Amino acid sequence: MHTIEPFYRWENLYTADSDERSPFYGRRYDMSVCRNDVYGYYIHPAWDEFGSETLYLKIIYMDYKYRFAVIEFIGEWNDAVNNDVSYLKRNLIDYITRQGIIYFILIGENILNFHGSDDCYYQEWYEDIEDEGGWICAIGFRDHVIEEWKKFNVDSYINYGGCLEITNWRTMHPVQLFKVIQAGIRRRLGC
Per-residue pLDDT at 59 = 98
Per-residue pLDDT at 163 = 87
Q: What beta strand segments (E) does the chain contain?
A: 37-38, 41-42, 55-63, 68-78, 103-115, 135-139
Per-residue pLDDT at 190 = 64
- Short-list 52, 152, 69, 174, CA closest to 111: 52
How far is the C-alpha of 191 from the C-alpha of 185, rounded, in Å? 9
Per-residue pLDDT at 33 = 85
Per-residue pLDDT at 36 = 87
Distant-in-sequence, close-in-space partners of 43: CB < 8 Å, separation ≥ 6: 1, 2, 4, 34, 36, 37, 56, 74, 75
CB 119 within 8 A of CB 158: no
What would the pLDDT profile of 102-139 be if each residue is shown by its tens digit? 999 999 999 999 999 988 999 999 999 999 999 999 99
- Short-list 188, 179, 190, CA closest to 158: 188
Q: How big is the chain, counted in residues?
A: 191
How far is the C-alpha of 125 from the C-alpha of 69, rounded, in Å? 14
CB 162 within 8 A of CB 127: no
Per-residue pLDDT at 30 = 87
* Distance, CA of 141 to chain centre: 11
How far is the C-alpha of 131 from the C-alpha of 39, rounded, in Å? 39
**Regions of the chain short of the pLDDT cut 70:** 1, 189-191
What would the pLDDT profile of 130-146 be if each residue is shown by its tens digit? 999 999 999 999 999 99
Write the burial class of residue 34 (CB in 10 Å: 0-12 exposed, 13-18 middle, 19+ buried). middle
Phi, psi of 62 (to 5 degrees): -140, 135
* Structural domains of the chain ordered from first start: 9-183 (3.30.750.24)
Per-residue pLDDT at 135 = 97
